[in-house]
Chains A and B, each alone.
Chain A
Amino acid sequence: MTAAGETANGPTRDTAAAPLLACAELTMRFGGLVALDALDLHVARGEILGLIGPNGSGKTTFFNVLTGLYRASGGRIAFAGRDITGLAPQAVYRAGIARTFQRSRLCLPLTVFDNVMIGNHLRLSRGTGFNVFRRRALRRQYEESVEAARALVVTFNPQLAARLFDAAGALDMIDRRRVEICRALVNAPRLLLLDEPSAGMTRGETRELMDDILQVRAARPALTIVIIEHEMNVIERMTQRCVVLNYGRKIAEGPFRAVAAERGVQEAYLGQAVA
């Protein structure tokens, strides 16, 4: 516990040995409700970590605090040796953390390309003068971006590349999820947060999407992933290590099989089921 605290508060370190993400005593309170209760959690470089726990155990809240949507009530977050506690969502993204949302948050009236480019916005020229008056330069940037988006989308689904300029709302659920992941990957983040990627999909679709994610991961060995899931076979297949949350506390940690065998974990889930 103190070790994680030291990483967070001590001098900046970004060495291969140090964890990529280290949270120390992270706490999030909403009025009287404690959604995260002094959570200590670290994610190693290149790891795929599963985050599981019953509904309302604080998993999504953890993502929201991490990405700066909520301001933590207490504790520190260190990312790549840097203290990112309390940074705005934009700054967190700039630091290299990208995410997907549990309920799809694509801009449905916009094209697939536009949605992917929302993730790429930091690399695009944002000045009003540039965008309005330097159309030639903008066009060059646009054409490069189309190629980049196409290349990224193709790694998921070659057919999706042909639909680059269709409205995202015209796609089915699995393709929307793919676009969401493309949007999160386009800025080449170091840490990818996936919030229940299987939600709203069939088992077959889920398997297909996981294949895609593993394939993407194989092409980017340095990419670290934290995945929230309720589908235990997904967790078993995808992750090397799991953290189990209940009432905002970490109740278990380790490889999925070992964690699933723990009595406390079973009780947490059963308690949920009974209630």
Chain B
Amino acid sequence: MDAGVLAQYVFNGVMLGVIYAMVAVGFTLFFGVLDVIQFAHGDVVMAGAFVGLATYLALHALGIAAPAVVVLVVACAAGLGMALLGAIIARWLILPLRAAPAFNTLLVTLMLGSILRELVRLFYPNGSNPQPFPRLLPSASANLGHFTLRLDTTLLIVTGLVTIVIVNLVVRRTRLGLAIRAVAQDSETARVMGIDFERVVLVTFAIGSALAGFAGVVYGLYYNEVNFDIGLLLGVIGFSAAVVGGLGSIYGAILGGFLFAALQTIGSVALPVSSAYSNVFAFAVVIVLMTWKPTGLIAEPASERV
């Protein structure tokens, strides 16, 4: 294969990996503090993309067109909106079911995902069809043989990585992060030490969901199209990425995200069948990986307490 073509695949794979990693970090944060999987997380990404899109249309209607301002406002709206949604989900759906069997939480979040999808499909104007997402980033590009280095994609990769790093810094370096890690280690002890458990959970869900909202905007800016059902694939892949990297570990989630992007890119290039099967391949890979390493490549060290 031509080096330029190869570089193009790597470049696109990295972009995909950043999006997956942003989603996976949310899964891993939630699992860390509460031992729950928020199966609607992929749909939160989708909702973030649509909030961003709606914000753009509103700004457009108001006549605000300066690209830098628009991008900033769109991203902030998606992030803040999803932070709020995440806190609401934690407060009204996840926390009340803490004492119930894990199956109930699982089902509630799955149904929540279905609700979010349907709300967008039914109530967003023409929501059952894919919506064009505006190109808001400078579209300059440099050609190196068969490799096209696009400025917008580069900006997205950098921004995505920076937000992940910021979230990581918040969790590692701040008092808030200390509280989150304390709860993740041992929620009982953390409570005894005077940490407001519920607040920590809400904030964690807000942070993870805000990241998902950004991921939605990044997705929209990259593909220039969003649809109400993109959350299903993003959720399954994000969760798998988090699992493969070891649930609870942020670095693991990032690693898992890039691993999945790599697998998907390789799958779409190397598979003999048509590229229509690339999603079938992605899901099959999820199943095989889960079978091979049921609790992730970086396995949880402690086994179940007997």
Contacts and interface: CB of A to CB of B under 8 A. Distances in A.
A60 interface: yes
B99 interface: no
A69 interface: yes
Contacts of B63: none
A64 B301 contact: no
A108 to B, nearest CB: 12
A31 B300 CA distance: 11
B306 interface: yes
Nearest to B299: A31
Interface in A49-87: 60, 64, 69-70
A30 B302 contact: yes
B301 A101 contact: no
B184 to A, nearest CB: 19
B303 interface: yes
A8 to B, nearest CB: 24
A94 B301 CA distance: 30
Interface string A98-123: 00010000000000000000000000
A60 B304 CA distance: 13
B302 A64 contact: no
B306 A30 contact: no
Contacts of B302: 30
Interface residues of B, number: 4
B303 A101 contact: no
Interface in B260-306: 301-303, 306
Contacts of B301: 30-31
B98 to A, nearest CB: 18
A101 B304 CA distance: 14
Which of B301, B303, B306 has the most chain A CB within a 10 Å cutoff? B306
A196 to B, nearest CB: 13
Contacts of A30: 301-303
A169 B42 CA distance: 39
A7 B303 CA distance: 31
Interface string B170-205: 000000000000000000000000000000000000
Nearest to A102: B306
A64 B304 CA distance: 11
B306 A60 contact: yes
Contacts of A64: 306
A101 B306 CA distance: 8
A69 B304 CA distance: 10
Nearest to B302: A30
A69 B306 CA distance: 9
A167 B301 CA distance: 36
A70 B303 CA distance: 9
A110 to B, nearest CB: 15
Interface in B46-105: none
A273 B305 CA distance: 23
Nearest to B304: A69
Nearest to A69: B306
B155 to A, nearest CB: 42
Nearest to A32: B301
A133 B301 CA distance: 46
Contacts of B303: 30, 70
Contacts of A60: 306
Interface of A: 30-31, 60, 64, 69-70, 101
9 contacts: A30-B301, A30-B302, A30-B303, A31-B301, A60-B306, A64-B306, A69-B306, A70-B303, A101-B306
Interface of B: 301-303, 306
Ranked 6 nearest A-B pairs via Cβ: A31-B301, A64-B306, A69-B306, A60-B306, A101-B306, A30-B301
